[in-house]
Amino acid sequence: MAIVSATLLVIFVLSALLLMVVVLMQDEQGEGLGGLFGGGSSTPFGSRSGNVLTKITSILGAVFILTSLGLAWSNRTPESGDVLGAARRQEAAGEKSLDWWKTEQESVKPAGELPDSAPPAPSK
């Protein structure tokens, strides 16, 4: 699986770099947002006659998206994310306290007892 992940990562980086270069090489054919909404062509989504750069851009965009999905799939965690089940198994096995934010001294003391570092109560 590591070979597949490394190959996908190389393809991902190459496609990203090539996509940036090809997009920067294209000339501005529309009028920005005005050309997007105002048109300039009789078809609803613009003219379909693209040059080689627009076709390469669409192919590289598809490769970029597919490799990003492949990387996400190949690098996912093997477990289904059952955090509660893992916590129950850890507690049943008698391991340390699940309260990771508490120190060992705080987790051992009874609930009614104040910790050593607590300031004394104000007297009136």
Look at phi and psi of residue 32 and say left if phi exceeds 0, alpha if psi is from -120 to 50, else beta: left
pTM greater than the 0.85 cutoff? no
- Please tell me the total count of domains within the chain: 1
Q: Is residue 14 part of a domain?
A: yes
Q: How many residues does this entry show for the chain?
A: 124
Q: Is residue 71 part of a domain?
A: yes
Q: Is residue 114 part of a domain?
A: no
Q: Is residue 91 part of a domain?
A: no
Residue 111, pLDDT above cutoff 80: no
Confidence of residue 15 (pLDDT cuts 50, 70, 90): very high
| Domain with 21 in it | 1-26+50-75
Q: Is residue 88 part of a domain?
A: no
Confidence of residue 29 (pLDDT cuts 50, 70, 90): low
Which DSSP letter does residue 123 get? P
Rounded to whole angstroms, the Cα distance separating 90 from 70 reads 33
